[in-house]
């Protein structure tokens, strides 16, 4: 398959693509970007959606319903799994939606012969690495909270289904997806909409011989914490840099502590304590 340019302009046939969490922030951007590149776009969310193009097929689905997930994904060539609880929450909720929901998506892929599954992981899987450390996805996970734990489990499920059942799985550790960076941490973690689409598209069209990989989806920020993907596995070069927006970010010039956790406030005990029993 062709390498995607920085603009993402290479023409690639995506066939039938299913997107879970299609009503979400990233899902909405992916929906708009991919609808012109697919023969059929299957959109799943627990929030009711309406078709916006002739090739869109919408389904109101709870990821916890295994039969409904498999039915909705029937006929897909590739799945972009973005659905789930998007932030810190009680662990039972995260396990039920993020982990069990991902299991249902992977099971549907196994049972129906879907050739590629792209799983939305998170940078929060490694939030306790220090800010002065350029982190590789090959290093052990260090989740900054219960949400990070659920995403580590999502990655483990993807690895299992790749190793045991031969699925082709790409896990993207998504950065701080924002239209513009607005806080000092974003100078390292920002993922622009343009780069998000580039990473998602690259993950969908990566060669079928790629059995499993995990990569950080982050813009090419001067201050980034994470290593960019190996181009031999994920052929996308990010183009945006949060540094270009530094003048609009309060306290951007304050010295950063290289020993502080990359997660920033997400690593604080109180961020998780409010979701635990008193």
Residues noted as catalytic: 147
The token duo for 65 is 């319903």
The token duo for 250 is 């309060």
Inter-CA distances, 113 with 57, 105, 119, 202, 218, Å: 19, 12, 17, 21, 30
Q: What is the CA radius of gyration of the chain?
A: 18
Kind and range of the H or E element at 201? helix 193-205
Q: Tell me how long the chain is.
A: 278
Contact (CB, 8 A) for 80 and 204 = yes
Q: What DSSP character marks residue 42?
A: E
d(Cα 102, Cα 207) in Å, to the nearest integer? 22
For residue 135, the SS3 value is strand
């Amino acid at each position: 398959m062709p390498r995607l340019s920085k603009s993402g302009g290479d023409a690639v046939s995506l066939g039938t693509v299913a997107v879970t969490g299609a009503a979400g922030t990233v899902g909405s951007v992916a929906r708009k970007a991919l609808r012109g590149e697919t023969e059929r776009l299957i959109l799943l969310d627990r929030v009711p959606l309406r078709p916006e193009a002739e090739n869109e097929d919408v389904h109101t689905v709870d990821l916890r319903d295994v039969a409904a997930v498999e039915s909705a994904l029937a006929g897909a060539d590739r799945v972009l799994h973005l659905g789930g609880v998007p932030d810190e929450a009680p662990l039972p909720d995260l396990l039920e939606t993020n982990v069990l929901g991902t299991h249902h998506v992977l099971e549907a892929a196994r049972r129906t012969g879907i050739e590629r599954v792209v799983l939305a992981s998170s940078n929060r899987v490694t939030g306790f690495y220090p800010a002065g450390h350029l982190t590789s996805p090959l290093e052990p996970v260090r989740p900054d909270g219960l949400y990070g734990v659920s995403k580590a489990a999502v990655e483990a499920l993807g690895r299992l289904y790749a190793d045991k059942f031969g699925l082709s799985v790409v896990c993207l550790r998504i950065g701080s997806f924002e239209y513009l960076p607005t806080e000092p941490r974003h100078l390292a973690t920002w993922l622009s909409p343009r780069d998000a689409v580039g990473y998602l598209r690259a993950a969908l069209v990566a060669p079928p011989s790629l059995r499993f990989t995990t990569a950080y989806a982050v813009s090419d920020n001067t201050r980034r914490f994470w290593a960019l993907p190996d181009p031999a596995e994920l052929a996308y070069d990010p183009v945006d840099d949060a540094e270009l927006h530094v003048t609009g970010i309060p306290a951007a010039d304050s010295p950063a502590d290289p020993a502080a956790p990359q997660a920033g406030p997400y690593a604080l005990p109180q961020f998780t304590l409010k979701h635990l029993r008193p």
